[in-house]
Structure 1
Amino acid sequence: MTVARRKIFAALCSGIFACLSLIVLLLVPATVQAQQDGPPFPDIPYVLVDTAGNRVLAANRIDDRWHPASLTKLMTAYVTFRAIERGEISPGSPVTVTTNAVKVPPSRMGYPKDTRLRFDTALQILIVKSANDIAVAVAESLAGTVPAFVARMNEEAQRLGLENTRFVNPNGLHDTGQYVSARDMVILSSAIWNEFPQYREFFETPTIKAGDRLYTSYNLLLERFDGTTGMKTGFVCASGYNIVASAERGSRRLVAVVFGASSQTERAELAARLLLRGFATPEGRTMADIAHPAAPVRPVNMRPVLCTEKARQSRYDPASETAVIKSKWLHPRQVTKKPVVVATGGVDGDPSPAWLARAFIPSRVPLPIKRPEYSVVGVDGEALDSEALLRGTVPVPVRRPAASAVQ
């Protein structure tokens, strides 16, 4: 081949390569390309799963134990869905706001004691508003007491095979003994989605309306990420910003779990990036292919990092309905659904058997106190005979001696 022909051949190859590169760029969505160009993921627990075949598309530290915060309410909802399914309660059965519920710290609805609402209404509030007082009210109205409800939560966790999960309360307020793992949250969220399709809309709802007030979900992917189907967020200082996020595009449904993000925005962006990566990735390994650690990994306390005054001032944590998120992974909020109206009252079902039994718990019924036995002593300190006592205090009259006749 002459030098001239070599030059022509090289030019043709270069042109063909350039054309192919342009075609690839045109075929790959800009959002996917942006995701691939993003900063490295932080070294925190996360997992991305294609629910068809339970294929893992991305994973890091998926068995680390982590404080769940309000992701706890996923199990609270699941336990309640199961109770409705087996007929223990109905969607219209009453949830009663108790003294314990009123005392719970925020986030809360703030309903006064003895307020009654339907179970399905309470669950909608629980998921969108993430109200801690409603979580306690649901627990007591279903199981009679919070400890009894928590026992159910842990029984369900064991039944589902959640090996690194333990619950202490129904709302996710911080407790050092309460933890979950990213792997376990995928299993739980899949159980909810597959077993109870009739309640999927609860997780997809961006906003609820109670009276004149609007409450918007802290899941910033809702109305900002195409195909999102919701699920749940959570935050306490010890856990950082957690999320279980799901999305559907075409025939595929993906679930992303992120623990310990440093802000609401980072949490949403990391979940969006994972989902975009997943929709561009056709294959993955099975969850069973990822080995469990030899020993449990203790939860990390992120309070020293996230909840100093300097940290609070440096991050952007707006109310979700007014959040302005400038991100190449999330589009501006587009209101797609009207707020779901929630209200108290409307009860048309029977209370749970455990709630009815609360009135008959022995510890709640005062028992008669045994009358004390008195011991009465004389002036010399010697106990008096019982014959000399009337009810322990009044002496019995002494028999008069018989009169003798006078001669």
Structure 2
Amino acid sequence: MHLLRLLPRHSLNWIFLVASLAVVTPGAVHAEALLVVEADTGKVLQADNATMPWYPASVTKIMTAYVTLKAVKDGRLTLDTVLTVSPVAASQSPSKMGFRPGIQVTVDNALKMMMVKSANDMAVVLAEGVGGSIDGFSAMMNQTAQKLGMTQTSYVNPNGLPADGQITSARDLAILARAVIRDLPEYEYFMHIPSIRYGRRVTQNFNKLIGRYPGADGFKTGFICASGYNLVASATRNGKRLIAVVLGSSSGQARAVRAAQLLERGFGGNGLGWLKPALGTVDNLVPIDATPPNLRDEMCGGKRKRPATDEDADIVAANGSASTGESPVTFFTAGLQPPMGKPSEMIAAAAEPSEPIPVYTGPTKTGPALIAAVAADVEQQTPAKRSKKSKVAAKKPAAVAEAGAKAAKPAAVRHASARPETAAKPAASAEKKPAAKPAAADKTVPKPAKPKAAAKPKGENKPAG
């Protein structure tokens, strides 16, 4: 701060210095971990609490997808492999699809449901299908983490629901995101699908950067009470790709705005680079030996009018107020950035229109079978109590089939080049009405011994999302 006394109080350099201090100083009121790295080189552009241990919540599912897709790439199974929903999978806490035990789903559809809806049951379906059991798959996840250099990460389950030993850090998550980009380019589309349609239900990706922030192309959100709102995001501009990690934000809206701010600074610079020391590469960030912060009281305490969850629709202030997590530096540097609007305005805007990708149960279907499957899903979700007139009308499937055809067409086009082994087979099929809400997951899923560095988020009972 002594440097401020050497500069004229109203000079441009003084303003830049104050702005830079606002960027690099962690907030004293709210715990957050922030990290921005270049995807190709791993160069760190900004790091705040980047090696602080953290509860991952549903960003765990990035590793679940990575291990599953590596198994596909290695030929141990295919995207068309049919997996069965077990009682353990069906018993997971929301967010989930809610399928009954015995229902079958392809690897392809399970991945889409898991990455877009953050379906905890689909994560277990994939884990059991690839690793034989939750414990077996968790061992595969941990082996993969160690191989990638994720030295601060430990997995106990594939979905991020609260459990002893489920920890990570912003550093490790950036390393994982780089591995996805490097090792699985042909399957990256799973990381940025804007929305899915299951019957009548359309679910938008919880990652609010998708379809809003220019160039956004990954990865996953997460939330449990202990972790706060987490996000691993990526975006590409002018051939340059950046990865931003935000852990412990106060809402789904705030984490998206914060990630957009980090990406904007990384892409455009802000005239302040001379003030920042070289931070090296993400692999060389020094881990902190500490207990993960527990944000449960802040996230899920009595002050909130409704329970916090990753599925809640955030109310966005039209003027981009402080409640959105807007940093003062945005206003100082707005004139220096490309004319794309402030991050809060980008995230508050409606997402670019896109056709939802149809998902379904059962084996892979194409052509007329795909259209019929989508129509059957719609029919399954039609309210049971209908008049005789409506029942007669329901026997005429033309309108429903037309809707199914509309939903099915873009899936075939979008994934024709992305799935070489099934290029002519877009995914979709019929399934039955979901069962009633099952018991909580933490009473069913077995847990291995507690690692020394782990600390269970006490009193945790909120969903990973």
Residue identity in the other structure for 2:56: P
User: Is 1:287 paired with 2:281?
Assistant: yes
- Pick from 310, 331, 351: which aligns with 2:303? 310
Question: Which string of whole-angstrom CA distances, capped at 9 and with x for unpartnered residues, describes residues 243-302 of structure 1?
Answer: 001011111101000110011111111111100110123976422685414x52211111
Residue identity in the other structure for 2:214: D
- Pick from 360, 371, 382: which aligns with 1:343? 360
Contact 2:42 2:282 in 1 (8 A): no
Contact 1:95 1:116 in 2 (8 A): yes
- Pick from 197, 213, 216: which aligns with 1:228? 216
Residue identity in the other structure for 1:287: T
User: Is 1:154 paired with 2:142?
Assistant: yes
Change in Cα spacing, 1:333 to 1:67, as seen in structure 2 (3 Å) is same
- Pick from 292, 299, 306: which aligns with 1:299? 292
Contact 2:35 2:170 in 1 (8 A): yes
Change in Cα spacing, 1:178 to 1:316, as seen in structure 2 (3 Å) is closer
Deviation for aligned residue 1:41: 5.2
Deviation for aligned residue 1:182: 0.6
Question: Which string of whole-angstrom CA distances, capped at 9 and with x for unpartnered residues, describes residues 154-193 of structure 1?
Answer: 0101111111000000010011311001110011011112
Deviation for aligned residue 1:112: 1.2
Change in Cα spacing, 1:57 to 1:132, as seen in structure 2 (3 Å) is same
Question: Which string of whole-angstrom CA distances, capped at 9 and with x for unpartnered residues, describes residues 35-82 of structure 1?
Answer: 998897535211001123211111011111100000110110011011
CA distance in 2, matches of 1:237, 1:91: 33
CA distance in 2, matches of 1:180, 1:140: 22
Query: Which residue of structure 2 lines up, in the alignment, with residue 102 of structure 1?
Result: 90
Contact 1:57 1:281 in 2 (8 A): no
User: Is 1:48 paired with 2:36?
Assistant: yes
1:122-133 to 2 correspondence within 5 Å?
122-133=110-121
Deviation for aligned residue 1:115: 0.9
TM-score normalised by L of structure 2? 0.63
CA distance in 2, matches of 1:99, 1:314: 27
SS at match of 2:162: coil
Query: Which residue of structure 2 lines up, in the alignment, with residue 136 of structure 1?
Result: 124
Query: Which residue of structure 1 lines up, in the alignment, with residue 350 of structure 2?
Result: 333
User: Is 1:178 paired with 2:166?
Assistant: yes
Aligned alpha-carbon RMSD (Å): 3.0
TM-score normalised by L of structure 1? 0.72
Residue identity in the other structure for 1:309: G
Structure 1, unaligned stretches of length 5 or more? 1-17, 22-33, 350-407
1:355-370 to 2 correspondence within 5 Å?
none
Contact 1:265 1:316 in 2 (8 A): no
Change in Cα spacing, 1:289 to 1:158, as seen in structure 2 (3 Å) is closer
- Pick from 207, 213, 228: which aligns with 2:201? 213
SS at match of 2:303: helix
Contact 1:36 1:277 in 2 (8 A): no
1:84-95 to 2 correspondence within 5 Å?
84-95=72-83
Query: Which residue of structure 2 lines up, in the alignment, with residue 398 of structure 1?
Result: none
- Pick from 58, 63, 67: which aligns with 2:51? 63
CA distance in 2, matches of 1:325, 1:38: 22
- Which of these two proteins has the greater Rg computed from alpha carbons? 1
CA distance in 1, matches of 2:21, 2:49: 21
User: Is 1:247 paired with 2:229?
Assistant: no
Contact 1:243 1:258 in 2 (8 A): yes
Contact 1:185 1:257 in 2 (8 A): yes
SS at match of 1:310: coil
Query: Which residue of structure 2 lines up, in the alignment, with residue 400 of structure 1?
Result: none
How many residues align? The count is 319
Deviation for aligned residue 1:94: 1.1
Deviation for aligned residue 1:318: 7.0
Query: Which residue of structure 1 lines up, in the alignment, with residue 247 of structure 2?
Result: 259
CA distance in 1, matches of 2:43, 2:113: 32
SS at match of 1:301: coil
SS at match of 1:311: coil
SS at match of 2:101: coil
Query: Which residue of structure 1 lines up, in the alignment, with residue 4 of structure 2?
Result: none
Structure 1 residue ranges (4+ consecutive) displaced by more than 6 angstroms after TM superposition? 34-40, 314-318
Residue identity in the other structure for 2:297: P
CA distance in 1, matches of 2:83, 2:317: 37
Structure 2, unaligned stretches of length 5 or more? 1-10, 13-18, 321-341, 366-420, 422-465
CA distance in 2, matches of 1:315, 1:329: 23
Contact 2:89 2:125 in 1 (8 A): yes
Change in Cα spacing, 1:291 to 1:204, as seen in structure 2 (3 Å) is closer
Change in Cα spacing, 1:245 to 1:312, as seen in structure 2 (3 Å) is farther
Change in Cα spacing, 1:127 to 1:291, as seen in structure 2 (3 Å) is closer
Deviation for aligned residue 1:338: 1.1
Residue identity in the other structure for 2:268: A
CA distance in 1, matches of 2:299, 2:130: 35
Contact 2:116 2:204 in 1 (8 A): yes
Change in Cα spacing, 1:252 to 1:91, as seen in structure 2 (3 Å) is same
Deviation for aligned residue 1:311: 3.2
Name the stretch that deviates more: 303-312 or 172-181. Answer: 303-312
Deviation for aligned residue 1:228: 0.8
Change in Cα spacing, 1:143 to 1:314, as seen in structure 2 (3 Å) is closer
Change in Cα spacing, 1:288 to 1:204, as seen in structure 2 (3 Å) is closer
